[in-house]
Amino acid sequence: MQFKISRRNFIKMAGAATTGIMLSQLADKATGHASSAPKGKCYYKGQDIPLLYEADICVLGGGASGVAAAVSAGKRGKKAVIVEKGITLGGLQTMGNVIPCMTTWAPDSDTSFVTDLKDRLEKYGIDYDDHNEKSEVGIWTNPEALSLIYDEMCLAANVEVLYNTIFVDVVKKGSTITHVIAQTIDGLKAIKAKTFIDCSGDAILARTAGVPSEHGFEKTGKNQPMSFRFEMGGIDLEKVYQYVTVELGEDFCPTKPPHYEFAEARHRTRQYVLEKFMVDGINSGELTEEDAEYMQAFAIVGKPGTISMNCPELPLEYSASDPLSYSRGVMAGRQMIHRISQYFIKHMPGFENAYLAKEASMLGARESWRIRGKYYLVEDDYHNQSRFKDAVARTAWFIDAHGEKVSEKLPKGAYYEIPYRSLITNEIPNLIVAGRCISASFILQASMRIQLTCMSIGEAAGIAAAWGLENNIAANDIEWDKIPASQRSYVSK
Ligand SMILES: Cc1cc2nc3c(=O)[nH]c(=O)nc-3n(C[C@H](O)[C@H](O)[C@H](O)COP(=O)(O)OP(=O)(O)OC[C@H]3O[C@@H](n4cnc5c(N)ncnc54)[C@H](O)[C@@H]3O)c2cc1C
């Protein structure tokens, strides 16, 4: 991976450290964190579970929303901990290979976490901005840069990250959650906190605690299709651009390499010029119908000659909310990856020397479970451009429920807002839910799930959790608009 460092940024960095020195400082700080395990136990199902960590705020899941939540709580002086089953932060962004971040299309939607992330990407020489107002991409990035930057953000905000730690259960006193029980490298441990934020994507903490939830489209019972993303290296991207955009005349990507994408989706109303390329593969027996259903590829900034494939899209029979079906989907998806990558190497100009570089280490679930909270966002909120006095974010990304519904974009400058009430529940006073599993219908979630919006929702969750503790107000009683405007990440206008 190449992180280009401009002269300006080199000077900015040189005063403090070179990248290498910064890395070693991070490692030292991380080691220093390790010795602070509290003494104590938590009685759970007939046994005493050792207390591993005691925090003000415990965030389950270190994806885009979870990092934003923990970092914003940490920045407000709260002791925050992230429980994460992987060994990198970013969730779908990093382990799921889901890059880039799509634009919200909403003017002035960046909250301070997003601005901070952009600054840090720039510092690492990531050319995140394609400077094209027609571009669907908000931030071009790459997973390795994000993993490092998120570690750095957590360390700077004194956030403890428990990696390779899997949520198992909650312990409650009445309706209040007191502990999370987690499987760690050293067996079952308890994590105690005053407020919990569920950023698991699957609402697993909320559901376990008794919050009502739903999954899939109410009309079909099916989740959105999952994708098993992968990276390919050794690509001559300029040659691909010449073939797809110049020779074939594909015009949907308004930008050129290094900010470049190409795609084909047979279930969309638009006819993509690459449909013939994929159908030829079906006819020759090299691809299946399912392989050719949806194909999308994004250049990865900082990794020249590499692309991130937003495919294969798994057939709908593989469910993001059924463990057996999900696992079979992994095997089916892996076979699809090998067929598609071989087909590209054989037939796509620019891929002659390409190779399969990396499979995602997390299956790409667009939608699994969503909570039913105090406010339930629905499709009308998108079309009516709903505003809320307790709004925590604005967005206008179109409804993109693969295979079910793809909406028109809202008019330029239009957007809807997401209320704090869609992050909290009637059942659990000290719980906030953030990211793609908030209280929203299947169709509306297909708009609000994009990464920048998940980050802004997570940021608000962290701020609310910290403010609630300072003011002795339960998370599910907080009225976001009562938090002083200067302390809010987003103020509805
Ligand atoms: C295939 C695909 C393509 C997409 N394309 C785009 C795109 O181009 N642009 C865009 O902006 N958005 C895109 N999205 C949407 C976007 O990536 C996600 O909606 C968003 O990243 C979700 O962030 P999150 O924090 O809510 O959840 P996640 O990223 O899912 O994070 C959840 C975290 O919780 C952890 N976790 C879960 N369960 C447990 C447990 N039991 N114990 C411990 N840890 C746990 C996970 O490991 C993970 O780190 C796409 C999504 C998919 C699936």
Pocket probe mutation, ligand 1, options 451, 452, 457, 459, max atoms within 8 Å of Cβ: 451
Cβ contacts of 10 within 8 Å, gap of 6 or more: none
Indicate the pTM of the whole model: 0.94
Protein residue with its CA nearest to atom 20 in ligand 1: 451
* Distance (Å, whole) CA 173 – CA 365: 33
Cα-based angle 334, 316, 383 (whole degrees, multiple of 5): 125
33 pLDDT higher than 50 = no
Query: Sorting pLDDT into bands at 50, 70 and 90, what band is 23?
Result: very low
How does pLDDT run across 348-382, given as a tens digit for each residue? 999 999 999 999 999 999 999 999 999 999 999 99
Distance 423 CA to ligand 1 centre (A): 17
How does pLDDT run across 66-106, given as a tens digit for each residue? 999 999 999 999 999 999 999 999 999 999 999 999 999 99
pLDDT recorded at residue 37: 62
Ligand 1 atom at minimal distance to the Cα of residue 434: 26
* H/E run at residue 230: strand 230-233
**Ligand 1 pocket at CB < 6 A:** 61-66, 83-86, 91-93, 96, 98, 101-102, 166-167, 199-202, 204, 227, 229, 310, 364-366, 435-436, 449-451, 454
Protein residue with its CA nearest to atom 15 in ligand 1: 450
The stretch 313-323 carries a mean pLDDT of 97
pLDDT recorded at residue 10: 40
17 pLDDT higher than 60 = no
- Max Cα-Cα span within the chain: 69
Distance 227 CA to ligand 1 centre (A): 12
pLDDT recorded at residue 406: 87
On whether the CB atoms of residues 63 and 101 are closer than 8 A, the answer is no
Ligand 1 atom at minimal distance to the Cα of residue 200: 34
Protein residue with its CA nearest to atom 35 in ligand 1: 61
Ligand 1 atom at minimal distance to the Cα of residue 91: 49
pLDDT recorded at residue 11: 40
Protein residue with its CA nearest to atom 3 in ligand 1: 98
13 pLDDT higher than 70 = no
DSSP 424: B
Ligand 1 atom at minimal distance to the Cα of residue 86: 47
Distance 61 CA to ligand 1 centre (A): 9
Cβ contacts of 461 within 8 Å, gap of 6 or more: 65, 68, 69, 197, 199, 392, 423, 432, 433, 434
pLDDT recorded at residue 39: 79
B/e letters for 40-76, b = 16+ CB within 10 Å, e = fewer, are eebebeeeebbbbbbbbbbbbbbbbbbbbbbbbbbbb
Distance 43 CA to ligand 1 centre (A): 32
Q: Is 217 helix (H, G, I), strand (E, B) or coil?
A: coil
Query: Sorting pLDDT into bands at 50, 70 and 90, what band is 267?
Result: confident
On whether the CB atoms of residues 417 and 391 are closer than 8 A, the answer is yes
pLDDT recorded at residue 36: 54
Protein residue with its CA nearest to atom 13 in ligand 1: 450
| Tokens representing residue 264 in the block | 């084909």
Distance 92 CA to ligand 1 centre (A): 4
241 pLDDT higher than 70 = yes
Distance 386 CA to ligand 1 centre (A): 25
Strand ranges inside 33-133, DSSP E: 41-44, 47-60, 80-83, 101-102
* Distance (Å, whole) CA 88 – CA 151: 8
How does pLDDT run across 190-211, given as a tens digit for each residue? 999 999 999 999 999 999 999 9
Protein residue with its CA nearest to atom 37 in ligand 1: 200
How does pLDDT run across 216-234, given as a tens digit for each residue? 999 999 999 999 999 999 9
The fold adopted by the segment(s) 1-222+365-493 is FAD/NAD(P)-binding domain (3.50.50)
pLDDT recorded at residue 8: 43
How does pLDDT run across 435-468, given as a tens digit for each residue? 999 999 999 999 999 999 999 999 999 999 999 9
> Smallest Cα–Cα separation from 407: which of 423, 422, 391, 385?
385
Distance 63 CA to ligand 1 centre (A): 6
Mean model confidence pLDDT for the chain: 93
The structural domains of the chain, with segments of one domain joined by +, span 1-222+365-493, 230-359
The stretch 306-318 carries a mean pLDDT of 97
pLDDT recorded at residue 269: 76
Distance 437 CA to ligand 1 centre (A): 10
Query: Sorting pLDDT into bands at 50, 70 and 90, what band is 24?
Result: very low
